[in-house]
């Protein structure tokens, strides 16, 4: 009789053990010659050597299943123990799975272009209106890289540009003032990673969320780095950000040219960067449009209405051309 400890790395043990330890109890019944105990992310196995080797192999398969799908059901355990594929084996195109088990993948042609551009290039610009999935899909790609260990960390950033409310008038310390700007990034991460694992990753700086100003002086290596809302950067800020790129790093820069919160006299750094870097080898540029909107159907209608309004106003602002010269002295 031998004893062995199995460590469940990179997953939430609560998902693995099941609600009320139902999955753990099932393993005990499937392997009657073994005594199985669990505490936190460590399983303690005592008993028959042959069954222990089989259990260890199955537990590793289950661990990978949880890592990929964020779930482990009783039927999955039975399939794995029988040597079969589980019902949730990934269909083509899935990037990662949400905490509810929903497959996260490209849902339009341009979203697929974003995924393809990320695979082919080290730097990708994704530009389009609200609701086209730019940020969400970008974070999914980053989480996939972290799970597959092709990146050691995720770094997410946004410019803290006021949209009607000044930072100094918001309550709390600097972190509390900045957090509202970064909330959409937290929301996406919480949808893809277990809460306890996300908290642990943030405490260990495996996942870092910071305002753009905190990037100065850093070299970002072995990471997937995402700059969200880049339309609100100045030319100097985005140049500083882009030159932080280190070895084995991929960057995704997202933005929406219709939602620039900079002063009217200030040129958007994203607009300038797209003009300067278009055609540079290793840089992909993907433009999304209202056909890619995956939010409520009203969002598409709102975007269409505002686009029509902008065109009308731009046309009204242009001076009329009469074809005659003004009289001298005017």
Buried b (16+ CB within 10 A) or exposed e, 258-275: eebeeeeeeebbbbebbe
Q: How far apart are CA 327 and CA 330, in angstroms?
A: 6
Token digits of residue 76: 């999955």
Tell which wins on pLDDT, 313 or 147.
147
pLDDT value at position 197? 87
pLDDT value at position 43? 93
pLDDT value at position 60? 93
Q: Which uninterrupted H or E stretch holds 201?
A: helix 195-203
Say if residues 231 and 268 touch (Cβ distance below 8 Å).
Answer: yes
pLDDT value at position 88? 62
Give Cα 305 distance to the centre of its chain: 29
Q: How far apart are CA 142 and CA 148, in angstroms?
A: 10
Give yes or no for residue 255 having a pLDDT over 90. Answer: yes
Say if residues 1 and 48 touch (Cβ distance below 8 Å).
Answer: yes
Its pTM surpasses 0.75 = no
Give yes or no for residue 50 having a pLDDT over 90. Answer: no
Please identify which residue in the block is written with the tokens 């996260």: 104
pLDDT value at position 163? 42
> E-strand spans in 159-279?
207-211, 223-227, 250-255
What integer is the mean pLDDT of 293-299?
72
Tell which wins on pLDDT, 146 or 183.
146
Out of 21-35, 142-156, 216-230, 303-317, least confident range: 303-317
pLDDT value at position 318? 59
pLDDT value at position 330? 43
Say if residues 74 and 81 touch (Cβ distance below 8 Å).
Answer: no
Share of the chain above pLDDT 90, in %: 46
Buried b (16+ CB within 10 A) or exposed e, 34-68: bebebeebebebebbeeebeebeebbeebbebbbb
Q: How far apart are CA 64 and CA 10, in angstroms?
A: 9
Q: Which uninterrupted H or E stretch holds 303?
A: helix 297-317
Residue 298: Cβ-neighbour burial (10 angstroms; 0-12, 13-18, 19+): exposed
> E-strand spans in 22-93?
34-39, 42-47
Binning pLDDT at 50, 70 and 90, where does residue 329 land?
very low
pLDDT tens digits for 210-253? Answer: 888 788 888 899 999 999 999 999 999 999 999 999 999 999 99
pLDDT value at position 245? 94
Tell which wins on pLDDT, 78 or 174.
78
Give Cα 115 distance to the centre of its chain: 12
Number of other residues whose CB lies within 10 A of the CB of residue 224: 25
Give yes or no for residue 263 having a pLDDT over 50. Answer: yes
What integer is the mean pLDDT of 70-81?
89
**pLDDT, mean over the chain:** 85
Say if residues 134 and 253 touch (Cβ distance below 8 Å).
Answer: no
Q: How far apart are CA 138 and CA 96, in angstroms?
A: 11
pLDDT tens digits for 266-292? Answer: 899 999 999 999 999 999 999 998 888
Out of 36-50, 83-97, 165-179, least confident range: 165-179
Residue 216: Cβ-neighbour burial (10 angstroms; 0-12, 13-18, 19+): exposed
């Amino acid at each position: 009789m031998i004893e062995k400890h199995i460590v469940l790395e990179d997953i939430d043990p609560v998902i693995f053990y099941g609600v009320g330890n139902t999955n753990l109890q099932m393993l005990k019944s499937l392997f009657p010659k073994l005594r199985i105990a669990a505490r936190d992310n460590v399983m303690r196995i005592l008993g028959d050597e042959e069954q222990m080797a089989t259990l260890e192999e199955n537990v590793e398969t289950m661990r990978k299943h949880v890592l990929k799908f964020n779930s482990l059901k009783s039927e999955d355990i039975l399939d794995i123990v029988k040597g079969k594929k589980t019902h949730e084996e990934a269909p083509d195109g899935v990037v990662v799975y949400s905490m509810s088990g929903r497959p996260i993948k490209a849902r339009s042609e341009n979203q697929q272009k974003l995924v393809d551009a990320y695979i082919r290039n080290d730097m990708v610009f994704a530009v389009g209106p609200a609701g086209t999935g730019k940020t969400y899909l970008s974070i999914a790609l980053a989480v996939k890289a972290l799970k597959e260990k092709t990146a050691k960390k995720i770094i997410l950033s946004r410019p803290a540009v006021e949209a009607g409310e000044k930072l100094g008038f918001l309550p709390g310390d600097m972190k509390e003032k900045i957090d509202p700007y970064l909330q959409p990034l937290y929301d996406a991460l919480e949808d893809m990673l277990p809460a306890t694992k996300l908290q642990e990753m943030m405490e260990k700086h495996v996942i870092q969320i910071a305002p753009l100003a905190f990037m100065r002086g850093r070299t970002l290596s072995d990471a997937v780095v995402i700059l969200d809302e880049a339309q609100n950067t100045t030319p100097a800020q985005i140049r500083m950000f882009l030159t932080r790129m280190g070895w084995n790093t991929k960057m995704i820069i997202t933005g929406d040219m219709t939602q620039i919160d900079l002063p009217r006299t200030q040129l958007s750094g994203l607009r300038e960067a797209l003009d300067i870097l278009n055609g540079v080898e290793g840089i992909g540029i993907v433009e999304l449009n209202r056909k890619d909107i995956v939010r409520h159907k009203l969002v598409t209608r709102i975007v269409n209405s505002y686009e029509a309004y902008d065109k009308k106003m731009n046309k009204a602002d242009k001076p009329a051309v009469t074809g005659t010269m003004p009289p001298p002295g005017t």
